[in-house]
Structure 1
Amino acid sequence: MQTFTFIWSGQVVSLIGSGLTHFGLGIWVYQNTKSVTLYALILLCGTLPSSLISPVAGVFVDRCSRRWVMILSDFGAGLSTLAIASLLFVDKLEAWHICLASAASSTFSAFQVPAFTAATTLLVPKKYLDRASGMIQLGQGISQLISPVLGGVLIGIIQLQGIVAIDVVTFFLGTIPLLLIKFPEPKTINASHTEALKKDSLLKEIIYGWQYITARPGLLGLLILFATNNFLMGSVGVLVTPLVLSFTSSAVLGMIVSVSGIGMLIGSLIISTRGGPKRLIHSVLGFQMLGGLSILIAGLRTSVELITLAAFLTFLGWPIINACAQVLFQKKVAPEMQGRFFAIRQMVTDTSFPLSYIIAGPLADNVFEPLMSPNGSLAGSIGQIIGVGPGRGIGLMFITIGVLAIVLSIAAYQYPRLRLVEHELPDTI
């Protein structure tokens, strides 16, 4: 685990820097525009390019050195952030600049994420894959815990310009372990078939990667589950900042984000130290149901305490869900196919995020918020239960999303190929 831990530490440093920037820019965009739709558009630009280019990126990950794919991806993302820093320093930053930079970072992420995931399978012994996946979630939890608190302090000292400059430095620090360590190459089960694939066109390789997934209904079912769940969670991601800022301050928002980071940190520590349970799929579905219940609770009242509790519980289960699913994929997919598989997985699951961004913002601004205004159509019925006024339409959306997430978990358990995926598919490593 030492080699993996060294690489992981560099990625965590980079994650913290990115978290600082995302927190600062998120507040800057919403406070300067007051538009949920525009806020959602920027999130869309940060995910859509990755979704579109992922199949091609996966082929390159399997064809090329996964280490160099990660190095070049980190370098490109650092340059995108550097562009934002430059515009901030000359006081020329506008929302469309952030859209362009987010799109560029998303493109580089399409290469970096499957390369890191596939490389982990080669760097870590099979029996420690669950702990490695937990450490990846732990790094995200550390970032979510530290970044809002640190960002809230630094924004008053060095302003947004200084925060983005720190992010640029952390991007390049994250590449140092990658420059110092060589990655092992995947051992192929059918070398002649793999070599033949490399001589095919990109389109044929992409098609073969998709055929590999569809031939395994349990994996396909897990992909569809994540795509649907990501749509729901993407909607929550768009709406949580406007919901909280509708009745309290950005400082409280930072506190809530930090508490969610504590939940993610605890969940990550559980999975990284204890490993996964015997039935991984049970943890995936069980904690997804807990997340749905928490989201439902968050929409009931304009209560900081209630939303904070819901955020903690949601993010407590999030790293456990992701780590358990990740181990399932790593064990069941052949190493020489993992670049393509994880890229297609990223495309399928991440496409639901842009869709949620497109839908959630306009629904909040044009449908749910008017319905829950003091004179809205639902003010005399649902409004008597959850309240009326700014943010209550978003609260109703949270309740709806929570109910859908619970129903999704129950329906997924009823599908035998998904419920029995651990027994029906043999391990490939």
Structure 2
Amino acid sequence: MKRFSILFCGALVNSVGTGLSAFALAIFMFDAYGTASSVVLVQLSAFAPIVLLAPVAGVLADRFDRRVMMAIGDGGSIGGLLIVMAAVSSERPGIGLVCGGIAASSCFAALTEPALRASVSDLVGPDEYVRASSMLQIASSARYLLSPFLAGMLLPAVGLRAILLLDASTCVVTVACSAAVHKAVGHQRGLAEESGFLAQLAAGWRAVASRSAVRRLVALMTCLTFAIGFVQTLVKPILLPHVPTSTMGTVETVMAVGMLAGAGLVGLMSGARPTTLLCAGLLTAAVSMILLPLRPAAWWAAATGFAFFAALALCNAGAEVIVRMAIPNERQARAWGAIGMVSQFGYIAAYIVAGPLADRVFEPLLRPGGGLAATVGKALGTGPGRGTALLVACVGALAFVLACVTISGRRALASTARPGRPPARPEAAPTTGAGASTAGSGARRMPEKADATDGKEAASC
């Protein structure tokens, strides 16, 4: 756990730096162009490469030493930040060059996520998986909890270029952390087989598709990210007609604290079955999503949003435990890459459909005199934001149905992830043609961890 803690510190610092740049670039581009489209384009430039390259990054993390891949990813992303710095130095920055630099940085950053998740199995024993999961979720939540607050103070004082330089310096810190762990544990080559890159990429998909529990979890997490996308996208249109902008910022901060609290709760529940974590998180998240839009009050949205994001930590930890128990260590990075790519498309789908559905379908229904104003309007109210609130409540109801289905079928998942069951050994991996593996980083795990018998796990889909 000591060596994993070094990687955690690097991930935490990097997460804060990434959040600083994301917040500052969004403000800068809106000021420069005055359109929401410019902000969305910047966000997509940062998000899309990580999603699309996740399977490739997973294969590379299994094929080569995972700490080396993390160092390359964090170090290479500095080059993209330098391109962005050059672009924003002009009087009217070209949005194409800004997005190109962001995309280049994200392409390298995509290498780090599967390698970091797979490193959990390299550096800690099964009895510490859940604890490691809570640590990773704390690191991830830092960009939403700390970075907006810090960037809001720093941006007027030092400017965008200084914040980008600060982000680049955090990448240097993470490279140093990865190098320190690599030096401590030595070289750990991922795959020993001679199969080609494409065959190994296909093997990552087969590692997911060949296990029914993992397939179900991927579908489940994709649906969950779809629901999360609706909350992230529509919470502002629900509240801003009723609360000032400063209050909206406070509400989002409280919601972000929920992610941190949920990660801490996962650590306290490290003895719980992964299916218990998953089902409890799903049910709580669904109920919170239904309740969130019922009242257009800041305190109500903050409380229910806090519960929603705290529950997601339980979902993530439970799902990752099950995946980690089902897939051999030497295939985990490419499996995480495939899982990440599929599940993250839920966000993209939500971003595409949430706005048009809210503006063109649900908002007219709850305007004064609208089709549902005389019925549903008595409970939710009418006017700006109330139709959007109805849409979020409907998606929350679908999430509740999904939670009930998952709870009813939890025994099928429990058979894959029983506490006390160690992760699948390399020799137990299915020999699927050219993608089959005979030796990997899992076979070189440290002796003091190899005998661990408590099968608890962690991280986030």
| TM norm structure 1 | 0.87
Q: Secondary structure at the match of 1:277?
A: coil
Asked if 1 retains the 8 angstrom alpha-carbon contact of 2:126 and 2:422, the reply is no
For 2:209, give the aligned amino acid: T
Q: CA deviation at 1:55?
A: 2.1
Distance, in Å, in 2 between the alignment partners of 1:402 and 1:30 is 31
Distance, in Å, in 2 between the alignment partners of 1:218 and 1:166 is 42
Q: Could you say which residue in structure 1 is the equivalent of 2:334?
A: 340
Asked if 1 retains the 8 angstrom alpha-carbon contact of 2:80 and 2:105, the reply is yes
Matched, 1:200 2:175: no
Q: Secondary structure at the match of 1:8?
A: helix
Q: Could you say which residue in structure 1 is the equivalent of 2:253?
A: 258
Which structure 2 residues correspond to residues 5-44 of structure 1 after superposition, within 5 A? 5-26=5-26, 33=34, 35=36, 42-44=42-44
Distance, in Å, in 2 between the alignment partners of 1:396 and 1:28 is 33
- Provide closer, same or farther for how the CA distance between residues 153 and 357 of structure 1 changes in structure 2, counting only shifts above 3 A: same
Matched, 1:231 2:223: no
CA offsets 1:60-95 (integer angstroms, 9 cap, x no match): 111112112111211233333343344334343466
Q: Could you say which residue in structure 1 is the equivalent of 2:141?
A: 141
Q: Secondary structure at the match of 1:422?
A: coil
Q: Secondary structure at the match of 2:294?
A: coil
Q: Could you say which residue in structure 1 is the equivalent of 2:389?
A: 395
- Provide closer, same or farther for how the CA distance between residues 371 and 147 of structure 1 changes in structure 2, counting only shifts above 3 A: same
Q: CA deviation at 1:230?
A: 1.0
- Provide closer, same or farther for how the CA distance between residues 289 and 33 of structure 1 changes in structure 2, counting only shifts above 3 A: farther
Q: CA deviation at 1:225?
A: 0.8
Q: Percent identity?
A: 29
CA offsets 1:79-137 (integer angstroms, 9 cap, x no match): 33343344334343466556545543443343211111111210112211111111111
Which structure 2 residues correspond to residues 271-420 of structure 1 after superposition, within 5 A? 271-272=266-267, 274-374=268-368, 376-415=370-409, 416-420=411-415
Q: CA deviation at 1:149?
A: 2.2
For 2:67, give the aligned amino acid: R
Q: Could you say which residue in structure 2 is the equivalent of 1:173?
A: 173
Matched, 1:217 2:212: yes
Matched, 1:129 2:129: yes
Asked if 1 retains the 8 angstrom alpha-carbon contact of 2:285 and 2:307, the reply is yes
Which has the higher mean CA deviation after the structures are superposed, 46-55 or 340-349? 46-55
- Provide closer, same or farther for how the CA distance between residues 290 and 155 of structure 1 changes in structure 2, counting only shifts above 3 A: same
Q: Secondary structure at the match of 1:248?
A: coil
Unaligned runs of 5+ in 1: 189-193
Q: Could you say which residue in structure 2 is the equivalent of 1:428?
A: 424
Asked if 2 retains the 8 angstrom alpha-carbon contact of 1:40 and 1:361, the reply is no
CA offsets 1:314-336 (integer angstroms, 9 cap, x no match): 12222232223223322332111
Paired residues in the alignment total: 420
Distance, in Å, in 1 between the alignment partners of 2:269 and 2:208 is 26
Distance, in Å, in 2 between the alignment partners of 1:225 and 1:185 is 36
Asked if 2 retains the 8 angstrom alpha-carbon contact of 1:219 and 1:421, the reply is no
- Provide closer, same or farther for how the CA distance between residues 40 and 97 of structure 1 changes in structure 2, counting only shifts above 3 A: same
Identify the structure with the greater helix proportion.
1
Unaligned runs of 5+ in 2: 426-461
Distance, in Å, in 1 between the alignment partners of 2:133 and 2:163 is 29
What is the aligned-residue RMSD (CA, Å)?
A: 2.9
CA offsets 1:183-223 (integer angstroms, 9 cap, x no match): 556699xxxxx644xx2233322222222222221121111
For 1:255, give the aligned amino acid: T
Distance, in Å, in 2 between the alignment partners of 1:93 and 1:318 is 38
Q: Could you say which residue in structure 1 is the equivalent of 2:430?
A: none
Which structure 2 residues correspond to residues 83-102 of structure 1 after superposition, within 5 A? 83-93=83-93, 99-102=99-102
